[in-house]
Structure 1
Amino acid sequence: MPPSSNKPVFNALASPITETPPTPKRTDPANHPIKGLNLAILFSSLTLVSFLSMLDTSIIGTAIPHITSDFHALADIGWYVSAYTLGAATLQPLSGKLYTFFSTKLVFLSFVFMFEAGSLICGVASSSAVFIVGRAVAGLGVSGILNGALTVIAASVEKSRSPMYTGFFFAVAQMGVVVGPLVGGGLTQLVSWRWCFYLNLPAGGVAALILTFIHFPEVVKKEPVSFALLRKVAPELDLFGFVLFVPPSILFILALQFGSGNTYAWDSATVVGCLVGSGVLFVLFILWEWKMGDRAMIPGNLFKKRVVSVSYAFGICNAICMLVASNFLPTFFQAVKGDGPSLSGVHLLPSILGQLLFTMSTGALVSKLGYYLPWAFGGSVILTIGNGLVSTFSSTTSVGKWVGYQIVMGVGRGVILQLPLIAVQNAVAPPQIPIAMAVLVFIQNFGVSIGITISNAVFAQTLIKAVRRYAPSISPQAVLDAGSIAGAVRDLAIGHEGELDGILRAYSEGLSNVFYLLVGFSCAAVVLSLGMGWVDVRKKKETGKPTEDPQVKAEKMEG
């Protein structure tokens, strides 16, 4: 295919480039498919690395109680998750542009190296602060792994077989999220929570080593890396937008963390200053992105489409409900119920299996029946009921109740998990799909960063107040320092045995308020689902009539 200097250049998750100084030359990946053993090795290695990156999002849940106890930093729970998801969100839009202009292999292996380095820092961390840094570095690495793998797969297989490979890739990679709590609980109980991160080193290292010696087909021809190329590409990367985005994000999370962890009062100059500074810098970021237009890190034209913007908001609510619950439920089973890490992972199986079963079945049913809006609405209602039921958990909750309530919550999460992606794909013209998907992943990660920090603030503040009310002889700071493993929580009552029930009640109340917050997010999802578009996503049979342009169809749908 001849080079084009007038059309935008895309890769699997890249943003459209309307002015392209380097002008990469297009090649047709279907002309250069990989077959046989080479394809099997390449595909397996890419899938393994992506599985590890997804595993890292949930494996920490059952390990958090031990981590907080080892570091005496219960108030840092929010950072353990938000640092990772914020890192993943920060470089997500930028990573697509890097894959557009630079060697796919070089960029992908660079992100894998960053992920491995972050995992190593987490494994050897001697303090909560070092651990948080490691999580942030690992998150930065993850930001380019998934979309890089999809880019390589698209260039490596025949177009007719690409959907099959992509579907299998997603199925295996997302299993990492599902089995994370079980793996994390087992490693924490049998070896150490540090092996939740050491695990990535040999597995990811071997995969990266194999990928180093395998040829990566390119979707577009790339110029060799040079300072001249860097100078030409730099204006297209919206680096200034990236610089403007990071500080306000960190300042906002710092404000929530400082206030919730009793480091500073909520009305202190430090907390208020962080919030004001964050707000001012966010305004500057939005103004800059508007000025950059299609070259922006986050193109604003996508948000002008009602179905897309509503689906983005729906996706944020969904992601927050899933990851906040995954990271706080182990605290209930370990701190309140007295489970060990492995058993707490096993006790999460009702929600895990419910989610897994309905994620797969809902995707198949939407493909068969066509319309996703009823599933989005119904799944959100079920999730709201499930979150409400889980909010009633206490030290006296029976096995039948905590199993049944988790199943309801898991079914709701499974039904709606992939619906934002389906809605966005069908709301934009085909050339816009890559950037639309990149922004969806970006805002979900960023939303989770904020949501988990707010949840942690709710939990910590409720716990402090509840301990003063139900166990007045126990220091709230001692509770925060104890973390949330079963033994440490019960050791708080040594010499105050009569107040153990009060301590457990305080933990239960803190967790209940977290799930009340999730009820709010899932209620918002119910309302948002009604604006996601009444669209039949089934492929229409050829009738000999001209096919309506997808962009026109999307605009009619919004109207």
Structure 2
Amino acid sequence: MSITTQELEKHSKEIDPEDQTSIEALQDAEPRLESKDGLQSTIAAEPKTSSAPDNEDADPEYIKGLKLAIVIGVVALASFTMLLDTSIVVTAIPRITSDFHSLDDVGWYGSAYLLSNSSLQPLTGKFYRQFSSKWTFLVFLGIFELGSLICGVAQSSKMLIVGRAVAGMGGSGLMNGGLTILAACSPPERRPTLMGFLLGFAQLGILLGPLLGGVLTQYTTWRWCFFINLPIGAVVAGILLLIQVPTRLAGKVPLTATFRSIFHVFDIGGFLLFAPSIIMCLLALEWGGSTYPWDSAKIIGLFCGAAGNFALFLYWEHRKGEGAMIPLAMFKNRIVWTSVVVAFFLGATMLITSYYMAIYFQAVRGRSPTMSGVDVVVGIVTTLICAVGSGILAVGRIGYYLPFAIGGAALNAIGCGLISTWTPTTSTGKWIGYQIIAGIGRGSGMQMGLVAISGALSAAENSIGMALLIFAQQFGGSVWLAVASTIFTNGLNKSLAKYAPEVDPKVVVNAGATGYRSVVPASAVPGVIQAYSQAVNYAFYLAAACGVAYFVFSWGMGWKSVKKPKKVEPAV
């Protein structure tokens, strides 16, 4: 049904005239409003938070056969490219720092991407709810490709960081978009299989990234680590443009919608409070102790500004209620908030170990970019195998995810702790074995947050829960990677003073992780290697600490079976 002009006038007597066009005021009545000039605009009502599962459309129209396979294939390819971009740069970073003399910026190469990605993550669900899923996906893909192009042609470290931030903005909507398109194209009974394929294929990006990045860096240039995204994106966009993707979401924001309507629907006020809070917090962590002292006015001001702004954001979201960018009511569910916290610390352990393993193998062990990529593949393969296997066992066989979450968290913390004991002479068996232990832990627990939230929330709430989980993992990685960068830089300066006092620390830092051997005297190289080893271990200490926090919070994810009961046929 739709609201007539007479009914609208009746509502206007009960609502303040200033709020007659407010989405929230008329949401319970109907999301379809008639404007004063006779044009109708349809604004989707925000979903209600409830524990009851949503019903599927009575007569859904799904695509089938080859067309479905092509759609799922191209969105999986885009997700693969996005995850490839997060890991391919790992083995290229040492060479980048040498070319740009920018060792201090190592943390920003990952944090800039993750910061912009996590800042936009909560909004992506609203974009896909209000606009065509295919065109929204293509817009995010275009922004991601633009960021990759900027990185590829970067002439300075700052330009590269800007490119990484732009790519992160685009990447924020690719995984959510892929899952949204998948749900629109396939019936419920086929979605778990297709989702498993999409996530599994996308995870190959993490697996192949370090190895491919090492090969491109050594035999061509590190710039191809970013240029490689351009032809892949062109293929994905070209195929999607030729295929009609069903759109099942209720609302669309029309061209006639007012700015005030858009402001309410997308909770722009919440975003404008949320993003600066995250940026100020990360800047304080990145600059504290390196660029500025921790007790300097700038660092204290950034922390205070972040805290104050975030308090305003929480108040705003409380007032928005169900229409908020991040509905605070969801955090009353213990399984939800503990799963989000677990993802926050899991993302930290994954990113810190990935980035600083590459520095260890190239700076400490003297490996080439290609061989350093080979050296870390064992841990990534273990993670991938255990992620797929634990998901099948937890959901399809055992039904309880908590043992995998707790056991995986424990092994992850132990593995990170063992990795922090690496020295310049650690045996091959040890550095392989320690990676396997950490990989088993990460892989076993990686999907348990998704499983827990899926079982704790209704179908209508699941998309929001997934967005929160993705945000927490990305944001956790960006925050703790910035902290690790500060710890590493400070640790390197202190260790150089201890093991290579005759070397100017600025010379070593400016030369980068792979260039210092050519700028310091040969007699001082062993001391610098020892200093690098100690500084990398400091970063691994932080990863181990995050692993312990991950283990502690895993206990709150709930002892709940997610295995579907078998249907019992009634006796005849």
- Name the structure 2 match of 1:344: 372
- Name the structure 2 match of 1:293: 321
Q: CA 1:538–1:224 in structure 2 vs 1: closer, same or farther (change >3 Å)? A: closer
Q: For residues 233 and 259 of structure 1, what CA distance do their matches in structure 2 show? A: 38
Q: For residues 91 and 501 of structure 2, what CA distance do their matches in structure 1 show? A: 29
- Name the structure 2 match of 1:314: 342
Q: For residues 100 and 261 of structure 2, what CA distance do their matches in structure 1 show? A: 46
Q: For residues 138 and 58 of structure 2, what CA distance do their matches in structure 1 show? A: 21
* Pairing 1:9-158 to 2, within 5 Å after superposition: 20=31, 22-24=42-44, 28=57, 31-158=60-187
- 1:29–1:158 contact (8 Å) kept in structure 2: no
- 2:343–2:476 contact (8 Å) kept in structure 1: no
Superposition RMSD in Å: 2.2
Q: CA 1:541–1:3 in structure 2 vs 1: closer, same or farther (change >3 Å)? A: farther
Q: For residues 328 and 505 of structure 2, what CA distance do their matches in structure 1 show? A: 45
- 2:287–2:299 contact (8 Å) kept in structure 1: yes
**Residue 393 (structure 2) pairs with residue 365 (structure 1):** yes
- 1:58–1:180 contact (8 Å) kept in structure 2: yes
Q: CA 1:136–1:4 in structure 2 vs 1: closer, same or farther (change >3 Å)? A: farther
- Name the structure 2 match of 1:302: 330
Letter matched to residue 504 of structure 1: I
Counterpart of 1:214 (choices 238, 243, 250) is 243
- Name the structure 2 match of 1:417: 446
What's the CA shift for 1:273? Answer: 1.9
Letter matched to residue 424 of structure 1: I
Q: For residues 79 and 475 of structure 1, what CA distance do their matches in structure 2 show? A: 24
**Residue 278 (structure 2) pairs with residue 278 (structure 1):** no
* Deviation per residue, 1:64-83 (Å, 9 max, x gap): 11111111111111111111
Q: For residues 188 and 96 of structure 1, what CA distance do their matches in structure 2 show? A: 36
- Name the structure 1 match of 2:553: 528
Using the size of structure 2 for normalisation, the TM-score is 0.88
What's the CA shift for 1:116? Answer: 0.3
- Name the structure 2 match of 1:325: 353
- 2:129–2:252 contact (8 Å) kept in structure 1: no
* Deviation per residue, 1:213-236 (Å, 9 max, x gap): 221111136557414276533311
Q: For residues 504 and 475 of structure 1, what CA distance do their matches in structure 2 show? A: 14
Q: For residues 129 and 340 of structure 2, what CA distance do their matches in structure 1 show? A: 24
Runs of at least 5 residues in structure 2 that lack an aligned partner in the other structure: 5-25, 33-41, 46-54
Letter matched to residue 345 of structure 1: G
Greater Rg over alpha carbons, structure? 2
Letter matched to residue 500 of structure 1: V
Counterpart of 1:437 (choices 466, 482, 506) is 466
Q: For residues 364 and 491 of structure 1, what CA distance do their matches in structure 2 show? A: 50
Using the size of structure 1 for normalisation, the TM-score is 0.90
- Report which stretch shifted further, 54-63 or 535-544: 535-544
Counterpart of 2:293 (choices 250, 259, 265) is 265
What's the CA shift for 1:409? Answer: 1.1
Letter matched to residue 172 of structure 1: F
Q: Percent identity among equivalent residues? A: 43
Letter matched to residue 237 of structure 2: A
- Name the structure 2 match of 1:164: 193
**Residue 237 (structure 2) pairs with residue 237 (structure 1):** no
Does the residue aligned with 2:497 lie in a helix, a strand or coil?
helix
Q: For residues 246 and 446 of structure 1, what CA distance do their matches in structure 2 show? A: 11
Does the residue aligned with 1:371 lie in a helix, a strand or coil?
coil
Runs of at least 5 residues in structure 1 that lack an aligned partner in the other structure: 6-16, 546-559
* Pairing 1:374-523 to 2, within 5 Å after superposition: 374-485=403-514, 488-494=515-521, 497-523=522-548
Letter matched to residue 52 of structure 1: T
- Report which stretch shifted further, 235-244 or 174-183: 174-183
Letter matched to residue 372 of structure 1: Y
- 1:30–1:155 contact (8 Å) kept in structure 2: no
Give the aligned length: 528
Counterpart of 2:255 (choices 226, 245, 250) is 226
Q: For residues 520 and 257 of structure 1, what CA distance do their matches in structure 2 show? A: 19
Q: For residues 547 and 173 of structure 2, what CA distance do their matches in structure 1 show? A: 29
- 1:324–1:455 contact (8 Å) kept in structure 2: yes
* Deviation per residue, 1:437-456 (Å, 9 max, x gap): 11111122111110110011
Letter matched to residue 403 of structure 1: I
Q: For residues 312 and 43 of structure 1, what CA distance do their matches in structure 2 show? A: 27
- 1:318–1:522 contact (8 Å) kept in structure 2: yes
Does the residue aligned with 1:463 lie in a helix, a strand or coil?
helix
Q: For residues 516 and 433 of structure 2, what CA distance do their matches in structure 1 show? A: 26
